[in-house]
Structure 1
Amino acid sequence: MTLLRVDGLPVEVREGASLLDAVRVAGTELPTLCHDDRLRPAGSCRTCLVRADGRITAACVTPAAPGTNVTTAQQDLCDLRRDAIELIVSALPPHALADGSRSELAETCRRLGITPRTAAPKTSGHRDDSHPYIELDQDLCIACGRCVRMCDDVQGTFALTLTGRGADTVVAPGTGGPWAQSDCVACGGCVDTCPTGAITHPGPGRGITTAQPRQEQVRTTCGYCGVGCALDVVVDENQVSAVLPALDGPVNQGHACVKGRFSHGYLTSEERLAHPLVRKNGSLEPVGWEEALARVADGLRGAVETGGPDAVAAISSARATNEENYLVQKFLRTVVGTNNVDNCSRLCHAPSAAGLSAAFGRAGGTDSFDDVGKADCLLVVGANPVEAHPVVGARLLQQALRGASLIVADPRKVGLAHQADIHLRPRPGTNVALFNGLAHVLVAEGMTDPDFLRDRAAGLDELVEMLAQYPPARTAELTGIPAE
């Protein structure tokens, strides 16, 4: 830990923290228009200036050194920070700070009493609303680069860039064409991080980055895939206004994918079923819940009376909650009297669950996603996380971009294969042979710790004997991957 003083108060922060972190621990909030805790600090907006041991510096990019004496409230510092914000605002049109604007810049200006100049600057009027989930108003862009860094460093898509020179610098899709034709995957990171409202999403929740006083914010877990991203649902008059990735989400860490971030539109879709449907005279007709439930109960009762309890079966859903799935099996076993209950995840997860259970004693992974950040080599086999589990795919890609070796083994050229150092393409169905071949090399070339394995694993001798059948030459014949 690092001990320093902020405005006379002793403050302790973690190793590697910045002066901005220390100032926040001391209870002081500074404007940070170019800073997002999820991103590398840039120090470009100069709105977080402090004095550290007599020297004026940007707090976000200055490391917190032991014994540093930091001051934030001196009048000259307040004037410098205000001047920096007023200079940024002077280049923006009046609607950047219009009543009702909920951008970070607008909130900062309201707090400091800054208003736009009467004489509005000339605006280009360039808007890009070609994308279904994201809108761009370049007149509101202050070239802070947060959206570009979010796209590059967190999502790893590299779909945005800063274009132009000097005061005319603005964000734009990297392809130079409309946003909808760019490489954007609609993760929404740029919407969340934009401090001015230059990048927003259309609809009633436009520009929302946090719940307002009249709104409710409800924490939930995304159910679209198995990653378990924590999301905050912004509710306004019992309607979902926006869905925001939770900054303290243990898995997603303030990030999301297009489904978790934007796919709440199904709630108000005209195609969504609003009433139970019962088939009458060959067609489905809307009915009340009592009639629908009575029809289901009659059908189940009739099946049991005719063929016994085992005439009934249920398939539960991986999209349902644990509690709902528990109730389904409880109903089948205690009310109907049958064990005929299944789940769709058994189709895809049963083989891996059996192997994991046999090897590790549990049907799930033994590592947390945080361990990805500690790895210097990543081996991804038979998975396409960029599309199937985008937030995890982004974390894997981030680690690869930070220098970790990335090896992808998959017959298909999946998303991560484009950034892989090595892309192995085994014949479909030969993944186990590939693993055995790799394990053979580890044992044959002395790259294991035998004492460690003997203390912690059973069946080691049998494994080594089996691996002798998988030298590189035979593994190459089975998998189609060159022995080298």
Structure 2
Amino acid sequence: MGAMNGFMIEVDGTDVAVPDGSSLLTAVRAAGVELPSLCSDDRLSPAGSCRTCLVRAGGRIVAACVTPASPGMRVDTGSDDVVRLRRDAVEVIVSALPPRALADGGPGELAHVCRSLGIGPEAAQGAGGRGVDDSHPYVHLDRDLCIACGRCVRMCSEVQGTFALTLVGRGGDTVVAPGTGGPWIESDCVACGGCVDTCPTGAISQPGPARGLTSAFHPAEGQTRTTCGYCGVGCALDVVTRDGEVTAVLPARDGSVNRGHACVKGRFSHGFRTSPERLTRPLLRRDGVLEPAGWDEALAHVARGLRAAVDAGGPDAVAAISSARATNEENYLVQKFMRVVIGTNNVDNCSRLCHSPSAAGLTASFGLSGGTDTFDDVERADCLLVVGANPVEAHPVVGARLLRQVLRGARLVVADPRAVGLALHADVHLRPRPGTNVALFHGLAHVLLTEGLTDEEFLRERATGLPELTELLADYPPDRVADLTGVPAADLVAAARLYGGAGRPAIVYGLGVTEHLHGTDGVRSLANLAILRGAVGTDRGYGVNPLRGQNNVQG
């Protein structure tokens, strides 16, 4: 086990291997033993407040979620007195809830725990009457079902980084509430759905047929794994269906990128499927008015138009533009149709505007058209340079991960004309005039070179073109860059020193870099910063990473 950085403990007489830093709850679950843990969620820091995961370890009764496992420890979960203590803890919590909390065999975590312990609805004796908040379209609060476990508050702060929720009141009257004190709809909530997904009782829920469903507790049948169709982050989602209709879209706990989290778009924005404004059949324009038509009629009309255009002007009179929201296979068929059937190479894709500068720039610098590192790598950076991107809004799950890293102490440099999103948390915010990106990046590189903030060994052994770059950068001292970009020279130098002095810097950029006349040059000049620092392909940094605009841009 030494090579795996783990150790062995004994759970109910069975030896279990666990990684270093594991809690007893992790060890017990690794042994296949199910324990209630109403204040615990693997995505969150432990709290130990509900006392429903009690076990005996080292001769003492302890809460498994907050007790570290240690080599050779013996854990007892099944003794009658330990089981009785856990049941008593759950019954005390349930006793304060109204009977409807356990009615109708609900799908939530508390209902599941009560069923496993043989606790029926009659145990719920609370009077209720604390009211509801249904002001928000996606998140409803039933205060009578709140057990003040704090999971929603920790989810909002630790995972999403919004800090929109708090616990108010004292003792048995403690309940979750928006931090602003007013109705939920007026709070800072960004509707990521994290609080809904972690709530063990249904106190915070999604209205409609998805009420009570979470990524941990939902019907096994009628579930389809998919990838979010919005931005380019690639969140893994589970679509729950019933009778052919979408009931809920839940974040996948094992999603490699989102890790059990989602944003308002992926989580809740599936209502377009049933919108009365959705087109469900072709529309054909007759006498200036679009009218419904059958598929055969519509396809025949399009074919006649294409044939007429080719007859009149030749194959090159026709062009096609496809989308990065379509699959690779669909895009392949579009170009195949145009080249084989129509006979033209006039094929384009919307991603050429946003992606081709990245493909060209990154290929020229590194030989590959994609980012150099994973999001997991970027999240370990001690300095983030975020350029031309607003991931908090445009790529919310990644934005939340970057914000968490900043809140844990990573330094942050943001280059964006706007003061939005992560810029509000930046150590240095560079606000260049639109169109001056390349000059800004050259200015940063100039400082790295002149102040000796480069990796000379890396440049000597793994890079070419340094003399030419040095000659180019000589024309971009801070004062001249300040005149070109509007960024104060002191800010430019401060940003370069943060990036150049970091042990593991990472660059993240978005469409504010690529959607320019000189987008490719912008990507290449950004890549130069990582190369100068030796922060790509080494353990000394996490390279250059584009945030794609649509879900299949990279494809």
When normalised by structure 2's length, the TM-score is: 0.85
8 Å CA contact 1:372, 1:395 repeated in 2: no
Partner of 1:130: 135
Residues 213, 419 of structure 1: alpha-carbon distance in 2 compared, 3 angstrom cutoff: closer
Q: What is the CA-CA distance between 1:231 and the residue it aligns to? A: 0.6
Equivalent runs, 1:245-256 vs 2, <5 Å: 245-256=251-262
Partner of 1:74: 79
Partner of 2:15: 10
Q: What is the CA-CA distance between 1:119 and the residue it aligns to? A: 7.7
Asked if 1:22 is matched to 2:27, the reply is yes
Higher relative contact order (CA 8 A, sep 6+): 2
Q: What is the CA-CA distance between 1:404 and the residue it aligns to? A: 0.7
Q: What is the CA-CA distance between 1:352 and the residue it aligns to? A: 2.9
Amino acid at match of 1:6: V
Residues 483, 118 of structure 1: alpha-carbon distance in 2 compared, 3 angstrom cutoff: closer
Partner of 1:419: 425
Quick one: distance in 1 between partners of 2:210 and 2:436? 48
Partner of 1:359: 365
Partner of 1:153: 158
Residue identity (%) = 73
- Structure 2 unmatched runs, 5+: 1-5, 491-555
Quick one: distance in 1 between partners of 2:359 and 2:219? 46
Out of 171-180 and 279-288, give the one that drifted further: 279-288
Deviations 1:182-214 (A, max 9, x none): 011100001100000000111222221157557
Quick one: distance in 2 between partners of 1:25 and 1:121? 36
Equivalent runs, 1:140-289 vs 2, <5 Å: 140-210=145-215, 212-213=218-219, 215-289=221-295
SS of the residue 2:316 aligns to: helix
8 Å CA contact 1:372, 1:399 repeated in 2: no
Q: What is the CA-CA distance between 1:67 and the residue it aligns to? A: 1.1
SS of the residue 2:250 aligns to: strand
- Please identify runs of 4+ aligned residues in structure 1 that moved more than 3 A: 116-120, 210-215
SS of the residue 1:235 aligns to: strand
8 Å CA contact 2:136, 2:184 repeated in 1: yes
Quick one: distance in 1 between partners of 2:124 and 2:360? 70
Q: What is the CA-CA distance between 1:125 and the residue it aligns to? A: 4.1
SS of the residue 2:489 aligns to: coil
Q: What is the CA-CA distance between 1:45 and the residue it aligns to? A: 0.7
Out of 311-320 and 471-480, give the one that drifted further: 471-480
Partner of 1:91: 96
8 Å CA contact 2:94, 2:124 repeated in 1: no
SS of the residue 1:234 aligns to: strand
Deviations 1:412-461 (A, max 9, x none): 01111111222121222222212111111111111212221122112111
Asked if 1:42 is matched to 2:28, the reply is no
Partner of 1:478: 484
Equivalent runs, 1:316-395 vs 2, <5 Å: 316-395=322-401
Amino acid at match of 1:448: T
Number of residues paired by the alignment?
Answer: 484
Partner of 2:58: 53
Out of 181-190 and 10-19, give the one that drifted further: 10-19
8 Å CA contact 2:262, 2:397 repeated in 1: yes
Amino acid at match of 1:192: D
Amino acid at match of 1:223: G
Asked if 1:113 is matched to 2:113, the reply is no
Quick one: distance in 2 between partners of 1:427 and 1:284? 44
8 Å CA contact 1:222, 1:228 repeated in 2: yes
Quick one: distance in 1 between partners of 2:341 and 2:70? 66
Residues 192, 2 of structure 1: alpha-carbon distance in 2 compared, 3 angstrom cutoff: same
Deviations 1:247-300 (A, max 9, x none): 111111111110100011111111111211111222111121111111122222
SS of the residue 2:305 aligns to: helix
- Structure 1 unmatched runs, 5+: none
8 Å CA contact 2:103, 2:121 repeated in 1: no
Alignment counterpart, residue 458 of structure 1, candidates 458, 464, 468: 464
The CA RMSD measured in Å over matched residues stands at 1.4
Quick one: distance in 2 between partners of 1:410 and 1:373? 21
Amino acid at match of 2:106: S
Residues 124, 397 of structure 1: alpha-carbon distance in 2 compared, 3 angstrom cutoff: same
8 Å CA contact 1:214, 1:236 repeated in 2: no
Quick one: distance in 2 between partners of 1:431 and 1:34? 47
Partner of 1:468: 474
Out of 137-146 and 43-52, give the one that drifted further: 43-52
